[in-house]
Structure 1
Amino acid sequence: MNRALRYAGVAMATVALLAGGSAVAFAAQEVVHTPAPVVATAPATAALTAKASATTVNAWQQFRITGAAKGIKPGTKITVQQKQHTKWVSLPAQAPINTSGSYAVRVKLGIKGVNELRIAVGSTVSPIVKVTVR
């Protein structure tokens, strides 16, 4: 209990005794200070962006995917994923998120046609980036 509440309690007990009341009856009505409820704030929502340096490339020609990560710890590795039929498959293309929250990863693709790519960190994924391979 803080000092102000103690002094207030002593003052009320003194007034009760002087007015002819019972100190025991008054002591049963002790003032209890309850702290304000703690409100938890939700962590920042993780988000990724992605942009390819080229929209059309030759088979096995290198290009870059760059973007930014929000709410993800620097040093965490991003992974490039490619949609193959109905499944997302992780490619062996990874890069760390730097201290400013951005990343850049080099990619080479061999599957001809329109390739759908995205960046993933755990369950957080970027919007789809389309790159056509000739």
Structure 2
Amino acid sequence: MTVTKRHSLRIAAVAVIGAVSVALAGTAAMAATPAAAPTTSVAQKAPAVKATISAKPSVSSVKAWQLFRVTGTTTGLKAGAKVTLQQKQGAKWVTLPASAPVARGGSYSLGVKLGIKGKNDLRIVSGSTASPVFNVTVR
């Protein structure tokens, strides 16, 4: 090979290596740069909605062990969440074996039988959320 041919090949090889190096450096620089954070309101979380439960008995007075219904609506609870009936016995709230799932629209309905005669203070609970107290008298 002549000197000029070798010189031309050397220049071509250096040019190709230089182009590849520049391309790789650009790719590495792009990979090292963090992506810009989204600034839309979609990325921001909405404030949490406080959960609430309402409750209404179907009757105000029943005979002992007579079936009645408690219905109501919820907000801030997911469909399928369990609501449970509690009865005040002395100073404590006692959980009774009456529960129902929350429907897709937030409503629930559960059947109840009470045996303690007199005025019964009741409420519906789900987790740490409780309904206002309501009364049913058992005669």
Q: TM-score, normalised by structure 2?
A: 0.68
Match of 1:118 in 2: 123
Distance 2:97 2:45 in 1: 38
Distance 1:41 1:35 in 2: 16
Distance 2:66 2:37 in 1: 66
The structural deviation recorded for 1:113 is 0.3
Give the counterpart of 1:45 among 46, 50, 55: 50
Give the counterpart of 1:129 among 116, 130, 134: 134
| Structure 2 alignment gaps of length 5 or more | 1-35
| Structure 1 alignment gaps of length 5 or more | 1-32
Distance 2:93 2:123 in 1: 9
Distance 2:91 2:37 in 1: 56
Q: TM-score, normalised by structure 1?
A: 0.71
Give the counterpart of 1:67 among 31, 48, 72: 72
Give the counterpart of 1:84 among 67, 72, 89: 89
> Which structure shows the higher helix fraction?
2
Distance 1:89 1:42 in 2: 33
Distance 1:82 1:98 in 2: 23
Which of structures 1 and 2 has the bigger CA Rg? 2
- Matched to 1:113, the amino acid is G
- Matched to 2:53, the amino acid is L
Distance 1:42-1:56 versus aligned 2 partners, 3 A rule: same
Identity of aligned residues (%): 52
Distance 1:114-1:74 versus aligned 2 partners, 3 A rule: same
Q: How many residues align?
A: 102
RMSD across aligned positions (CA): 1.8
